[in-house]
Structure 1
Amino acid sequence: MEAVIRVTDAVKSFRQTKLSTIRSPAEFFDFQRISRPTDFSQATQRISYNTRYYSGNYGLVVACLAVYAVITNPLLLISLGFLVGGFAAINKFAPEPMQVGDHVVTQKSLYTALFVIGLPLLWWASPIMTFFWLVGASSVLILTHASFVEPGVESEYAEVQDTV
């Protein structure tokens, strides 16, 4: 019961901190504020400000790309489903050792079999390549957006609030 309370508190905390920073799509995709930065210094300032200002939106971009990466890699989807489903099935249906013929099957032996089958399957699904694709695609999208969108008028007041 205490674990459920911790999970709900964590979800509430996540909702308050990250999801409250999501800007409206009209603001995030405001084509009127797009311009090329004049130099590297201005691009760096824009990236610094916009990554903080649009952090919730960028989190959604990364989440959408992660879902896309998993869906478009069927072997990765199957191997993750196999491992997660195996853990759930072992915890639900085999909490106690059971007798099968002459052998006693324990949770430990079921987990060992799950790992012996699931980890090579997961490795074959190339999760590392998927991870690096996700990092690269997210970085390109986020840095491009952050450097090309001019900060709004509120960015001038952000410096004043930081010093106060």
Structure 2
Amino acid sequence: MDLILKATDVLKSLKETRLSGLRSPSEFFDYQRISRPADSNAAFSRISYNTRYFSGNYGLVVAALGVYALLTNWLLLVSLAFLVGGFIAINRFAPDATQFGEHTITQKHLYTGLLVIGIPLFWWAGPFFTFFWLIGASSILILGHACMLEPGVESDYATIQENV
């Protein structure tokens, strides 16, 4: 029950901080505002404005790509579940040392066994490839969108608000 309360508190704070800046899908996918920038200065100006303006939407893009990467790399998903589940199970079900025949098994022994099995499994799953794919894919999508989408009329007034 305590875990559920903590999870709801985390989700509420996430909604208040990160998701409050979400723009509507009709604004984010406004194909009528898509055009090629005139030069590199215009492209950098668009990227600078759009990354700030659509930061919540871009966070969702990165999260969706991360979920996609985990769902398409089953070995990485299984190895993460094994490691996280193992730590939770050891903390919950084996807080004290257990006598097994003439051997005493402590939490330290269980953690060592978990890491001896889990770390090679995790390494074999290719987390670095997935991480760099996530960085590359999200960078291309976000920079491409930010570069091609013309800022709205409100962008003209953004510099006035900053100067006041």
How is 1:1-164 mapped onto 2 (pairs within 5 angstroms)?
10-164=10-164
For residues 46-103 of structure 1, the C-alpha deviation after alignment (integer angstroms, 9 at most, x for no partner) is: 0000000000000000000000001100110110010011011101110111111111
Once the 2 structures are TM-superposed, how far is the Cα of residue 13 of structure 1 from its aligned partner?
A: 3.2
| Residues 21/77 of structure 1: CA separation in 2 closer, same or farther (3 Å cut) | same
For residues 94-125 of structure 1, the C-alpha deviation after alignment (integer angstroms, 9 at most, x for no partner) is: 01111111111111110111011000100000
Once the 2 structures are TM-superposed, how far is the Cα of residue 14 of structure 1 from its aligned partner?
A: 2.5
Question: C-alpha separation between the residues in 1 aligned to 2:85 and 2:73?
Answer: 18
Once the 2 structures are TM-superposed, how far is the Cα of residue 12 of structure 1 from its aligned partner?
A: 3.4
Question: C-alpha separation between the residues in 1 aligned to 2:10 and 2:81?
Answer: 24
Moved over 3 A (4+): 2-13
What stretches of structure 1 of length at least 5 have no aligned partner? none
Identity of aligned residues (%): 64
What amino acid maps onto 1:121 in structure 2?
L
Question: C-alpha separation between the residues in 1 aligned to 2:127 and 2:15?
Answer: 28
Q: TM-score, normalised by structure 1?
A: 0.94
Question: C-alpha separation between the residues in 2 aligned to 1:5 and 1:134?
Answer: 31
What amino acid maps onto 1:143 in structure 2?
L
Q: TM-score, normalised by structure 2?
A: 0.94
CA RMSD of aligned residues (A): 1.9
Question: C-alpha separation between the residues in 2 aligned to 1:71 and 1:9?
Answer: 27
State the aligned residue count.
164
SS at structure 2 position matched to 1:99:
strand
Once the 2 structures are TM-superposed, how far is the Cα of residue 16 of structure 1 from its aligned partner?
A: 1.4
Once the 2 structures are TM-superposed, how far is the Cα of residue 9 of structure 1 from its aligned partner?
A: 5.5
What stretches of structure 2 of length at least 5 have no aligned partner? none
SS at structure 2 position matched to 1:104:
strand
What amino acid maps onto 2:102 in structure 1?
D
